[in-house]
Structure 1
Amino acid sequence: MTRQLHFNLFLMPRGHHEDAWRHPDSTGRDLTDLELYVEAARIAEAAKFDAIFLADVLVAPNNGGLVAAGSLEPITLLSALAARTDRIGLIGTASTTHSLPYTHARQFASLDHLSGGRVGWNIVTSWAPQAGLNYCLDVGHGDRYAIAEEFLEAVDALWRSFPSEAIRDDRESGQYLEPALIQPVNYRGAHFRTQGPLNVPSSPQGRPVYVQAGQSESGRGFAARWAEAVFTAHLVKQTAQSFYSDVKGRAATFGRRPEDIVVLPGISAAIGSTAREAQLVWELDALTSPQIGLARLSARFGGHDFSAIPLDRVLKRGDLPDPEEVEASKSRTTGYIDVALREGLTLRQLLQKLAGARGHFTVTGTPEQVADTIEDWFKTGAADGFNVMPPIVHKQFELFATEVVPILRKRGLFRNDYEGTTLRSHFGLDPVRTNVRLPRSA
């Protein structure tokens, strides 16, 4: 089969633009209404998307952030969506910094069973200082990936500790389990210890798919070892191409093939029947609040105060902190600085640019023009597909699913139907052996 695109719906309740909630085309349902998410999931499933992708935050968003992100915990929400969908994958975000390996392994393994093997785990290493206050844990920026490596080793071993083959369920002989196939983990690390084995058997796809979103040097190394799908942010194709080749090249050092990792940049598409109509979508920018934008920019830069900078003066390098000194997402802040200086933006213009997709790629045009851009990135080594980030839900996502996807399908770039039942099969990933573990003994 020829190489084909992969699409996840990165679902924000009203849309990815921070002021989509004010637009008449955005859904009027409450952010806690399950039907809001079910409607979006069904649109995505009808279009044969690989998965629905849910982000998560561990702190109460300031100002209007709650409207954009929503407030439902992703594992709970995905459990409900598993019962209301049939084939589409379900990817939930969970932190390695503020979770326990055994509890986490049980939750995701259970969800993978209940969904028939459709689950992926978006692995994040939390850095927000407020999260540390909520979870009684103060973690430095440089410690996150050391903790994450141990967390993954422990969880991965737990998911392999109870292979489904151990279940005999032989009523005639009276044997339910083959105990010899179930092995303790005895994991001992600097940050985590777990004896195991897990009390949930391996799932229909062996274990959930590993999804990861780090772009820093540590994040890329982590992705090369563990990730099976990588969610990445790029404002231009050139940086996406560089990231794509770098991560896939690093994977070889761990004995992995390039096709073992699916790279999915974020894309926020404003779609209209004409280019002019599509451009009107970004009139949302006029609704943005500088106060909310400044709060978000400050949080992204680890709490830096931008309030003294005039909103309508062109930014200078000295206005923006050195990313190497930021206790936050260094790769994302570097991208913000680069685009601000390269395009000669004022602070107000930067805030408006980030209001739509927070540093992800945006495209504006007719369905044909959007499809052309997606095909170009796909064929020139920038992406294996995209995390689709509609600026307005459900209107703009419906246009993507019903107008853009059929064009790509007609070009032979996207599936006509699902060919398997698991998320692993949707992504074209190999099955996972559950009888191989990575324990670390004391």
Structure 2
Amino acid sequence: MTVFVELAVGESAGQVSVSAADAIARVAQSVNASGIRLVDEVDSLRTIDSSIVGSYLAGRYGHLGYLIDARTTHNAPYNLARRVLSLDRATDGRVGVVLAPGEGDEVSDATTPDPQASDTSERWVEYADIVSRLWESFPRAALLGDQERATFVDDTLIAPINHEGRFYRVAGPLDGPASVQGRPVVVAADPDALGWSRIAAVADVVIVERNNIDGADAALSGALHSVGRRRSDVALLARLTGAVSAVELKQWAPDNGVDGFVLATSGRDEAAIVDLVRDVVPQLAGPIGRTLRSTLALRESAEVFA
């Protein structure tokens, strides 16, 4: 099973310092954790930018995967896609983005095709589709580096996405090649707000609170079937808060269709988080793959479904 340690890194209440995050990541890697989830706020208090913290930790702990929280609010799709893909290439394919629903950004809002569009879940699907297509707009096969023929790239393989939806106009393509895992992982962490049918169209991973896990596997399976995808195309992770028993979780997870866990740590100090990681992760974590997708038992090159 996969086990991620959730951290809020900053200086506000409920957050840990950068040095504490470094120490926790070191322990997490030593006990074979699947990765670190870096949230962008706790109780409406913002953290240090998750992509910056992820870049720092990834440079030190390269066997971990990194789930970077980001919102549609204030993040233009092209800019976020480029930033996440750069980190994904630097880590050899160990990055995913936990995309949260929200509002728009000043760059995109200036050219939005439908100024009246306001449904945040509809915006989320369109945004997730855009970044996924951008990540595949410059395939790795296009990067030739052929000195004899003086050919750096095969530009016939690079294609703009030319997207025009209700919320966004994005031409593309990105200015760098795809990562070794095909494209970064797209994570949805609010199925109640977004709706299972919308999540099923584009998500690679769904995070559900443990208290809401009843029926989640069936809801996800049904939604995936309706869009022509298989249950194995998406990993279902349970987010755990409070006391955790690894022995109980080993039995509980298969009974609830859970593929892995996210250990929430908000409100705990560094020592308590380290103890949690050392006590729980070794009993639950499965093997680490060469990329985040393989760690999650997902296909490493996946077409865009939306």
Task: Indicate the TM-score class for this superposition, using the shorter chain for normalisation.
Answer: 0.7 to 0.9
- Cα distance between partner residues in 2 of 1:437 and 1:265: 25
Which one of 233, 246, 251 corresponds to residue 260 of structure 1? 233
Query: Deviations for 1:207-246, whole angstroms, at most 9, x for unmatched residues?
Result: 11111112226332222112111111143xxx41312221
Q: 1:107-122, aligned counterparts within 5 Å?
A: 107-122=83-98
- In structure 2, give the amino acid aligned to 1:35: S
Is 1:99 aligned with 2:75?
Answer: yes
CA 1:172–1:424: 2 relative to 1, 3 Å:
same
Task: Look up the match of 1:208.
Answer: 184
Q: CA RMSD in A?
A: 3.0
Q: For residue 271 of structure 2, what is the aligned residue in structure 1? A: 395
- How far 1:175 moved relative to its partner? 0.9
What is the distance in 1 between the residues matched to 2:240 and 2:116? 31
Distance 2:20 2:268 in 1: 13
Match of 2:214 among 233, 237, 241: 241
Which residues in structure 2 correspond to 1:70-89 (within 5 Å)?
71-89=47-65
Show the counterpart of 1:372: 247
> Is 2:166 the partner of 1:190?
yes
Per-residue deviation at 1:206?
1.1
Contact (CA 8 Å) 1:212, 1:223: kept in 2 or not?
Answer: yes
Give 2:256's aligned residue: 381
Largest Rg, 1 or 2: 1
Q: Could you tell me how far 1:195 is from its partner in structure 2?
A: 1.4
Consecutive unaligned residues of structure 1, counting only runs of 5 or more, are 22-30, 271-362, 364-369
**Is 2:299 the counterpart of 1:430?**
yes
The one-letter code of the counterpart of 1:249 is G
SS at match of 2:70: strand
In structure 2, the CA distance between the partners of 1:167 and 1:191, relative to structure 1 (3 Å rule), is same
* Cα separation, 1, equivalents of 2:194 and 2:47: 29
Contact 2:73–2:105 (CA<8 Å) still a contact in 1? no
Distance 1:96 1:217, change over 3 A: closer
Report if the CA contact (8 A) 1:240-1:382 is conserved: no
Q: Residue 285 of structure 2 corresponds to which residue in structure 1?
A: 414
Shift of 1:88: 0.5
Could you report, residue by residue, the CA deviation over 1:254-299 in whole angstroms, capped at 9, with x for unpaired residues?
Answer: 22111222111211243xxxxxxxxxxxxxxxxxxxxxxxxxxxxx
Structure 2, unaligned runs of 5 or more: none
Cα distance 1:100–1:190, how it changes in 2: closer, same or farther (>3 A)? same
* Aligned-partner SS, 1:388: strand
CA apart distance, 1:405? 3.4
- Which residue pairs with 2:40 in the alignment? 56
Letter in 2 for 1:206: G
- State the match for 1:319 in structure 2: none
- The one-letter code sitting in structure 1 at the alignment partner of 2:298 is L
Q: In structure 2, what is the equivalent of residue 171 of structure 1? A: 147
Q: Identify, as 1 or 2, the structure richer in strand.
A: 2
Q: How many residues align?
A: 300
Partners of 2:199 and 2:31 lie apart in 1 by 28
- Equivalent of 1:90, from 66, 73, 85? 66
**1:228 and 2:228 equivalent?**
no
Report the CA distance shift for 1:182/1:380 in structure 2 as closer, same or farther (over 3 A).
same
Tell me: CA distance 1:396–1:382, structure 2 relative to 1, closer, same or farther (3 Å).
Answer: farther
CA–CA distance in structure 2, aligned partners of residues 164 and 20 of structure 1: 41
Shift of 1:383: 2.1
* 1:394 positional shift: 2.3
Q: Would you say the 8 A contact 1:14–1:393 is kept in 2?
A: no
> SS of the residue aligned with 1:216?
helix
- Say which SS state the counterpart of residue 241 (structure 1) adopts: coil
2:138 is the counterpart of 1:162: yes
State the one-letter code of the partner of 2:277: A
Shift of 1:19: 6.8
Measured in 2, the distance between the counterparts of 1:97 and 1:116 equals 28
> What secondary structure is seen at the aligned counterpart in 2 of 1:37?
helix
| Structure 2 Cα separation of the partners of residues 194 and 8 of structure 1 | 33
Q: Is the 8 A contact 1:161 1:437 kept in 2?
A: no
- Distance in 2 (CA, whole Å) between partners of 1:36 and 1:398 is 9
Residue of structure 2 in register with 1:275 after alignment: none
Distance 1:171 1:377 in 2: 56
Q: Using the TM superposition, give the Cα deviation of residue 426 of structure 1 relative to its aligned residue in structure 2, in angstroms.
A: 0.9
Cα drift, residue 169 of structure 1: 0.2
> What TM-score does the superposition give when structure 2 sets the normalisation length?
0.87
Q: Given residue 145 of structure 2, which amino acid in structure 1 is its aligned partner? A: D
* CA deviation vs aligned residue, 1:315-358 (integer Å, no higher than 9, x gap): xxxxxxxxxxxxxxxxxxxxxxxxxxxxxxxxxxxxxxxxxxxx
Counterpart CA distance in 2 for 1:6 and 1:140 is 41
Given residue 41 of structure 1, which amino acid in structure 2 is its aligned partner?
A
> Is contact 1:214-1:220 (8 Å) kept?
no
